[in-house]
Structure 1
Amino acid sequence: MSAGVTRVGVVGGGQMGAGIAEVCARAGLDTVVCEVDAVAARAARDRIAGSLDRAVRRGKLSREAAADARTRLVFTGSLDDLADRQLIIEAVIENPNAKTEVFAALDKIVEDPAAVLATNTSSLPVMRLGMATSRADRVVGLHFFNPVPVLPLVEVVTSLHTSAGTTVLVEDFASRTLGKTVVRSKDRAGFVVNALLIPYLLSAVRMAESGFATAADIDAGMELGCAHPMGPLKLADLIGLDTVVSIAESLYDEFRESLYAPPPLLQRMVEAGLLGRKSGRGFHSYAQG
C-alpha cells in the first residue's frame, strides 16, 4: 500500500467518482463511496457493478478479482461515514460552491489531522478548496481521466500551501497503488491537459458553428488525417458538453483569453440539455441503454 494508505473515501458516485472508487477497490483498498442520499448511493453501486461486469466480459478482469473488489466497497449517503478515512477524493459536480462546501464539511468530519483531502477537479483552483479547510497543506489535486479504469494518467496538482509530504504521498498512491502514470502541474486553471485540450475542442465547435464543416467531417478529418483516436466533437460529447463549458469558463476567468471563451452554440446546447453521450445527443446522436 502507498505510505500506509489503506482506507479511501470517494465523495461523488457519478461517472468519475464511480471510476475512481472502482480502481481503488480493484487495488485492494477499503473504499467508501459517499453520495447525496441513499438513492444516489445505490445508483453509484450499480454503476460500479456494471463496469466490473463489463471488464469481466471483455477479459480485462477475472470474476474472482471483480468479486473481491465488490467486497471492498461500501456505499453511503452521509459524509460522516468518511470520518476514519486516510485519503478522501472529492469528485462532485464541477461547481466551485459545491466543492468548497464538501471540503469545509470534510475538514470538520475527518478525524485524522494527517488525512489528505484531494480533489478530482478538472479546472478549479486547488488553493480555493484548501483555504476552505484548516489543513491547506494536506489538500491536493488528484485529477483522473475518463474512463478512469482505462486511462492511465493522473495529474497531481499542488497549491502554494500543499506540503512536500502530501505530494509524495499522493504521487506514490497514484503510481504504485493504482498503477497510474503521474504528471505534475502547478495550480493553474485547466492544469496541463485541459489547458491544451479545451482550446482545441472549442475551435472545433466554432468550425461547426460557422458552417465551415459538419461535425462528422471535422471528426473524420482529425481521426483519419491526424491519427487521433477520437475526433474533437466526439470527445467533447464523451466528456460532457456541460463539463466542457465549465472548464472553458474557468480557463477564461483565469486567463481572459478569447480562445478559452465557450462559443454560443455550445452554451445553447447545454441549456437545451444536449450534453453528449450521457444525454443521448450532443454533436452526434447516441443510442440509449
Structure 2
Amino acid sequence: MKVGVLGGGRMGAGIAHAFLLADCEVVVVERDDQTVDAAAQRISESIARSIERGATGRGADELEAALTVGRDIAAFSVCETVIEAVPEDRAVKAEALSRIAGAAPDAVIASNTSSISIDDLAASLARPDRFLGLHFFNPVPASTLVEVVAGAATAPAVLDRARGWVELLGKTPIVVRDSPGFASSRLGIVLALEAIRMLESGVASAEDLDRAMELGYRHPMGPLRTTDIVGLDVRLGIAEELQAALGERFAPPALLRQLVAEGKLGRKSGEGFYRWERP
C-alpha cells in the first residue's frame, strides 16, 4: 500500500512513521528544501527510537528505503490514500486539500484536522465521497486511537477502508459523525479550558490540578500537561472553532491567549504550563 502525507511536521512525520512500521510505502511532500530536510530527519530519528524500543524487527535502512520525502506533489498520483497534515487553519487546509485532489484524483483523501468541519473542507472537492477525517493523536507512534470522521458525503466503503488502515497500524478506530470538535477534541477541550481557568484564578498549581485528575479520576495524564503535549496553539485553535460553533462555554481563557502570544506553546517550544527539554 502506498500512502501520501502532505506536511512533515510533528504530526505528519508521526503519521508517516506509523505507516512505515506497518510495511507501507510512504511519500511525504513538503514545501521547500529546508522543510524537506527537516521532515526527513524527523522521521529518521523517530524510526531510530522505534528500533531502540524494539517496536520493529526491521532495520533503519529497510524502513527508510520505503520512504520518499520531496517537494513534488505529483508524487501523490500513485498513492491509495493521501493524508493532509498541515497546520490547523481552515484556509491552509482547504488549499492543501485542493492541491492533493489535483495531484491524486483517484485517491482517498483524509484530513488530520482535530476540529475543523469535514463537510466544510469537502465543499470545494470534486469527490467528497472519497474524503473523510483521520484525526491522529500526538505523539502518533505512542497513541492507540485514531478518530475516523465521516462527512455527510463520505461513502460507507471509504469509511470501511479507513477503519482497516487504522487497524493495520495497530491502533483502534472510533467512527464519529462530523460535528464541532468531533468527539475527542470536544470532550478534551472542556476539561483543559476549565483547568486553565482554575490555574488563572489561583485555585491550585498546574501540578496539583493535573494530579487531581491523574490520582482522583485515574487519567493517565492531567489536562494541563496534555495541553502542553498537544500544543497550546492547537488548543487555542480548537477552542476558537468551538466557540464560534457552540457558544461562549468554549471561549479561550485569557491565560491561554497570553501564553500563545508569548510563544509558549508547550513541549514543542520548550515551555507552556511546564518546562520541557527542547525537541
TM-score (norm: length of structure 2):
0.96
1:237, CA displacement in angstroms?
0.5
Given the alignment, which residue of 250, 275, 279 partners 1:285?
275
1:250, CA displacement in angstroms?
1.1
Name stretches of at least 5 consecutive residues in structure 1 with no aligned partner: 1-5
Contact 2:21/2:56 (8 A) holds in 1: no
Report matched runs for 1:63-142 at 5 Å: 64-112=58-106, 115-142=107-134
Given the alignment, which residue of 8, 11, 15 partners 1:16?
11
| AA partner of residue 162 (structure 2) | V
Contact 1:155/1:182 (8 A) holds in 2: yes
Q: CA RMSD in A?
A: 1.3
1:65, CA displacement in angstroms?
4.2
Any idea what SS the aligned residue of 1:75 has? strand
Given the alignment, which residue of 35, 38, 54 partners 1:40?
35
Structure 2 Cα separation of the partners of residues 150 and 67 of structure 1 = 22
- Residue of structure 1 equivalent to 2:254: 264
Any idea what SS the aligned residue of 2:204 has? coil
- Residue of structure 2 equivalent to 1:190: 181
Any idea what SS the aligned residue of 1:278 has? coil
State yes or no: 1:202 paired with 2:193.
yes
Structure 1 Cα separation of the partners of residues 148 and 220 of structure 2 = 25
Structure 1 Cα separation of the partners of residues 13 and 240 of structure 2 = 25
164 and 274 in structure 1: CA distance in 2 versus 1, 3 angstrom threshold: same
- Residue of structure 2 equivalent to 1:149: 141
Any idea what SS the aligned residue of 2:78 has? coil
Structure 2 Cα separation of the partners of residues 104 and 259 of structure 1 = 33
Aligned residues: 279
State yes or no: 1:238 paired with 2:229.
yes
| AA partner of residue 265 (structure 2) | L
- Residue of structure 2 equivalent to 1:3: none
1:122, CA displacement in angstroms?
0.4
Contact 1:276/1:284 (8 A) holds in 2: yes
- Residue of structure 1 equivalent to 2:166: 174
1:288, CA displacement in angstroms?
2.5
1:147, CA displacement in angstroms?
1.3
1:111, CA displacement in angstroms?
4.4
Is 240-249 or 144-153 further displaced after alignment? 144-153
Given the alignment, which residue of 210, 213, 216 partners 2:204?
213
1:213, CA displacement in angstroms?
1.0
Given the alignment, which residue of 45, 52, 77 partners 2:47?
52
Structure 1 Cα separation of the partners of residues 60 and 220 of structure 2 = 28
Any idea what SS the aligned residue of 1:33 has? strand
Name stretches of at least 5 consecutive residues in structure 2 with no aligned partner: none
1:60, CA displacement in angstroms?
2.5
What percent identity do the matched residue pairs reach? 41
Contact 1:84/1:111 (8 A) holds in 2: no
Structure 1 Cα separation of the partners of residues 44 and 158 of structure 2 = 31
